[in-house]
């Protein structure tokens, strides 16, 4: 430091604050009103920490808090005065892998390089670059009028390969976060963002972002257009169930209160789809306002598409049994005050066909369009050709339909509508439920809007040459599952057909000849949950009459163990079974089988998951299954014939049988209530 009477000169004066090294250069001279000075402070390792923050004046602290910088920087601070000009200050900050986050959009910027230049009332950002993995963010621009109450911002941000993840979600404005969370986006995006303060009015600083999505997936709650279920503040309507898109490429323009979707193309359940429109985010998803249009071409008609139609139309569509491809257009719109969206579905037919038994003949080559709203169906220039099977009926006139159908159960004020009672006549010529075949099934199904359950009270069907009657009730459970209660009675079923049909797949190659025959009657009550393969609990009673055991059946193995091989040995008048079901097991409380040569009685269990049996039987002389011997009859019955205990275990289709002859005297004394001695 050189000092004279009227000046001071700093020559690389160096000092330290912790590990920060500072250099001071410059001069001051001519003390008094005409004082001149030009001082420069530099550092190549300035720490952007709390000590530096505390050294700032209040205006600079406010700016610091906007970005919360961390890390290191090279600084060049200059303070000068050359009268008659006022003093001048400037600060150049060269970032050295620093970190920061803008408070109004706190997306973390990492490994920042580039320059910030601070002047009297201006801040300039020059090539600020943040790079992390494949994500690169570049910032340029300036803020002016910084000493006023309304600084003017003019910044440009270019972002490449920004992950659509939870970090981005946390940085979004509060109005956009519920919307972002609801669509579950994944992938990356590029963006060109302008952050600016309008100068022609007093509007606050705002932004416009042109965003390009690349190979993105998302689910939108706005394009599911089935008729809504009952809604509440915490339960979305059925129309808000998500429609999922994958492999999305899209262009969208974001502003604080509007998202405009342009050139959106992706794969959905229907195939390739295009979406355009706009969304105005709300503080909650149900308050979001939107107007969206989806279009997809040549979509194959299937059950999933039919299920997405309004409830009042899906039954009709199912009965028509449509086939072929259609073009689909969907328009949905919702105001922030509405509970649900208005929709319009347009189906353009592409030479389709329907084959309903309610029509006098099938229809082919169907063209025209069908437009569906929440309370009306419009039929526009629909033309079809009558056919016989796959062939057009020669000379038959074409069928032409125009008009509209309005739903009678719709009220003018949809907010006051309740879910109506439903009555469906269900008819199935052939139906298979968990391996059991039913034919000519007929039932009336009723929907109770108060209990939200479905009940089929008079279920009638043919079943293996016999008849089945019952009742089925479905009660909503978690998700899309239902609790069910099935109560059935059956009579005179053909046992051979039944056994062939329920045979597990792993035994499907077994010899089907010489099956057990007979006629089967009984009752079954089970309760469980759909989407689960086994019932949870139930009760079963079974009676089989005129049973002839097949010589290749598992039951025949019991008879062979007892050296019974004659035709009469395989004939039984009646078998009675009383059992209950708990989870995957059938617990047989009573098993009683009576034939010409021998009778069995006992109890045990059957595991329905692996078809493992554990059964203990007692075999004795002939006695009708329904006849209970008296105490006096039991003694000669035991003394007069062999009494054998049989333990049946292992796979039900190839069981292991162990036998043990019981001491008949001991059995008889037990019957008389006398305790046997050691000699006995």
In a domain, 181, yes or no: no
Q: 483 falls in which pLDDT band (50, 70, 90)?
A: confident
Q: Report pLDDT digits (tens) over 244-253.
A: 899 999 999 9
Average of pLDDT values for 517-538?
83
Give the structural domain span for 433.
Answer: 420-548
**541 or 220: whose pLDDT is higher?**
541
Q: 96 and 155 share a domain?
A: yes
The predicted pLDDT at position 275 comes to 93
Averaging pLDDT over each range in 45-54, 296-305, 494-503, 552-561, which range is the top one? Answer: 45-54
Residue 630 pLDDT exceeds 60: no
Q: 518 and 432 share a domain?
A: yes
The predicted pLDDT at position 265 comes to 94
Provide long-range contacts, Cβ within 8 A and 24+ apart, for 605-609. 606/652, 608/534, 608/584, 609/534, 609/584
43-47, 79-83, 576-580, 637-641: the lowest-pLDDT one: 637-641
Q: 435 and 501 share a domain?
A: yes
> What is the gyration radius of the CA atoms in the chain, in angstroms?
42
- 662: helix, coil or strand? coil
Average of pLDDT values for 503-518?
61
Q: 505 and 609 share a domain?
A: no
In a domain, 198, yes or no: no
Final residue of a domain: which of 344, 373, 408?
408
**229 or 326: whose pLDDT is higher?**
326
Q: How far apart are CA 102 and CA 114, in angstroms?
A: 16
- 387: helix, coil or strand? strand
What's the CA dihedral at 171, 174, 176, 179 to 10 degrees? 110
Q: Greatest CA separation found in the chain?
A: 143
36-45, 103-112, 363-372, 641-650: the lowest-pLDDT one: 641-650
Q: 481 and 401 share a domain?
A: no
What is the pTM assigned to this prediction? Answer: 0.55
Average of pLDDT values for 228-251?
62
Averaging pLDDT over each range in 51-60, 249-258, 524-533, which range is the top one? Answer: 249-258
In a domain, 177, yes or no: no
Averaging pLDDT over each range in 267-276, 358-367, 386-395, 472-481, which range is the top one? Answer: 267-276
Q: Report pLDDT digits (tens) over 168-186.
A: 988 888 878 888 888 889 9
Q: 296 and 440 share a domain?
A: no
Q: 342 and 383 share a domain?
A: yes
Average of pLDDT values for 100-107?
86
To 5 degrees, how large is the angle CA 316–CA 319–CA 320? Answer: 90
**282 or 351: whose pLDDT is higher?**
351
Q: How far apart are CA 616 and CA 167, in angstroms?
A: 64
Q: 468 and 329 share a domain?
A: no
In a domain, 201, yes or no: no
Q: 323 and 260 share a domain?
A: yes
Residue 120 pLDDT exceeds 80: yes
Average of pLDDT values for 77-83?
93
Residue 382 pLDDT exceeds 60: yes
Give the count of domains, the chain: 4
**676 or 631: whose pLDDT is higher?**
676
The predicted pLDDT at position 641 comes to 43
Residue 11 pLDDT exceeds 80: yes
In a domain, 195, yes or no: no
Q: Report pLDDT digits (tens) over 383-392.
A: 888 777 666 6
Final residue of a domain: which of 350, 373, 408?
408
207, 256 in Cβ contact below 8 A?
Answer: yes
Final residue of a domain: which of 380, 408, 436?
408
- 184: helix, coil or strand? coil
The predicted pLDDT at position 193 comes to 94
**114 or 443: whose pLDDT is higher?**
114
Q: 9 and 140 share a domain?
A: yes
- 513: helix, coil or strand? coil
H-helix or E-strand spanning residue 298: strand 289-300
DSSP strand E in 512-654: where? 517-529, 537-548, 571-582, 585-595, 599-607, 612-620, 644-651
How many CB atoms are located within 10 Å of the residue 177 CB?
Answer: 15
Helices vs. strands in the chain: H and E counts, helices first? 10, 36
14, 23 in Cβ contact below 8 A?
Answer: yes
Q: 633 and 505 share a domain?
A: no
In a domain, 186, yes or no: no
The predicted pLDDT at position 381 comes to 84
The predicted pLDDT at position 238 comes to 42
In a domain, 209, yes or no: no
Residue 655 pLDDT exceeds 60: yes
H-helix or E-strand spanning residue 136: strand 135-144
Kindly state the tokens that stand for 84.
Answer: 């008659």
Q: 563 and 518 share a domain?
A: no
Residue of 504, 575, 588, 506 lying closest to 542 (CA atoms): 575
In a domain, 291, yes or no: yes
- Percentage of the chain lying above the pLDDT 70 cut: 77
* 276-to-252, 260, 279, 436, 456 alpha-carbon distances in Å: 9, 8, 10, 49, 44
Residue 84 pLDDT exceeds 60: yes
């Amino acid at each position: 430091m050189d000092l004279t009477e009227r000046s001071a000169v700093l020559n690389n004066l160096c000092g330290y604050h912790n590990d920060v090294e500072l250099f001071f250069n410059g001069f001051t001279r001519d003390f008094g009103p005409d004082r001149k000075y030009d001082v420069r402070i530099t550092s190549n390792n300035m720490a952007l920490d709390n000590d530096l923050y505390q050294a700032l004046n209040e205006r600079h602290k406010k700016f610091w808090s906007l970005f919360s910088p961390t890390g290191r920087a090279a600084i060049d601070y200059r303070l000068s005065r050359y009268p008659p000009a006022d003093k001048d200050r400037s600060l150049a900050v060269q970032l050295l892998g620093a970190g920061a986050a803008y408070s109004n959009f706190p997306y973390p910027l990492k490994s920042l390089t580039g320059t910030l230049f601070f002047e009297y009332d201006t801040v300039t950002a020059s090539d600020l670059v943040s790079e992390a993995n494949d994500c690169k963010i570049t910032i340029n621009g300036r803020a002016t009028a910084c000493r006023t109450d309304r600084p003017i911002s003019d910044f440009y941000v270019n972002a490449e390969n920004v992950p659509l993840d939870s970090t981005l979600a946390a940085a979004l404005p509060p109005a956009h976060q519920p919307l972002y969370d609801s669509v579950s986006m994944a992938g990356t995006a590029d963006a060109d963002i302008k952050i600016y303060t309008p100068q022609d009015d007093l509007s606050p600083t705002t932004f416009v972002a042109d965003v390009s999505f690349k190979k993105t997936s998302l689910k939108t709650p706005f394009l599911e257009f089935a008729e809504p279920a009952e809604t509440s503040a915490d339960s979305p309507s059925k129309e808000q169930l998500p429609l999922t898109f994958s492999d999305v490429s899209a262009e969208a323009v974001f502003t604080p209160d509007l998202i405009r979707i342009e050139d959106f193309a992706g794969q959905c359940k229907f195939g390739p789809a295009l979406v355009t429109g706009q969304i105005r985010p709300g503080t909650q998803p149900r308050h979001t306002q939107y107007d969206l249009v989806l279009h997809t071409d040549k979509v194959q008609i299937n059950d999933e598409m039919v299920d997405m139609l309004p409830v009042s139309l899906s039954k009709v569509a199912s009965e028509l049994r449509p086939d072929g491809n259609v073009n689909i257009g969907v328009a949905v719109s919702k105001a922030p005050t509405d509970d649900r969206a208005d929709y319009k579905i347009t189906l353009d037919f592409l030479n389709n066909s329907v084959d309903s038994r309610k029509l006098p003949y099938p229809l082919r080559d169907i063209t025209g369009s069908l437009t569906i709203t929440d309370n009306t169906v419009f039929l526009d220039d629909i033309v079809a050709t009558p056919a016989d099977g796959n062939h057009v009926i020669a000379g038959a006139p074409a069928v032409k339909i125009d008009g509209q159908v309005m739903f009678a159960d719709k009220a003018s004020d949809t907010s006051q509508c309740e879910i109506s009672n439903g009555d469906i006549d269900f008819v199935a010529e052939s139906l298979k439920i968990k391996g059991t075949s039913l034919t000519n099934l007929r039932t009336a199904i009723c929907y109770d809007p108060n209990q939200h359950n479905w009940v089929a009270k008079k279920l009638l069907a043919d079943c293996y040459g016999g008849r089945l009657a019952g009742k089925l009730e479905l009660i909503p459970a978690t998700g899309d599952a239902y609790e069910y209660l099935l109560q059935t009675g059956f009579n005179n079923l053909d046992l051979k057909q039944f056994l062939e049909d329920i045979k597990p797949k792993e035994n499907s190659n077994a010899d089907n000849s010489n099956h057990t025959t007979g006629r089967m009657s009984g009752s079954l009550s089970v309760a469980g949950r759909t989407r689960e393969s086994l019932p949870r609990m139930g009760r079963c009673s079974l009676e089989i009459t005129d049973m002839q055991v097949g010589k290749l059946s598992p039951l025949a193995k019991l008879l062979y163990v007892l050296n019974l091989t004659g035709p009469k040995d395989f004939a039984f008048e009646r078998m009675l079974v009383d059992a209950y079901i708990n989870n995957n097991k059938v617990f047989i409380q009573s098993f009683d089988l009576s034939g010409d040569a021998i009778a069995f009685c006992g109890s045990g269990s059957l595991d329905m998951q692996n078809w493992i049996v554990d059964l203990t039987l007692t075999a004795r002389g002939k006695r009708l299954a329904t006849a209970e011997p008296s105490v006096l009859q039991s003694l000669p019955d035991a003394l007069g014939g062999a009494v054998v205990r049989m333990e049946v275990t292992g796979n039900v289709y190839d069981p292991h049988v162990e036998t043990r002859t019981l001491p008949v005297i001991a059995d008889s004394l037990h019957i008389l209530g006398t305790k046997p001695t050691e000699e006995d």
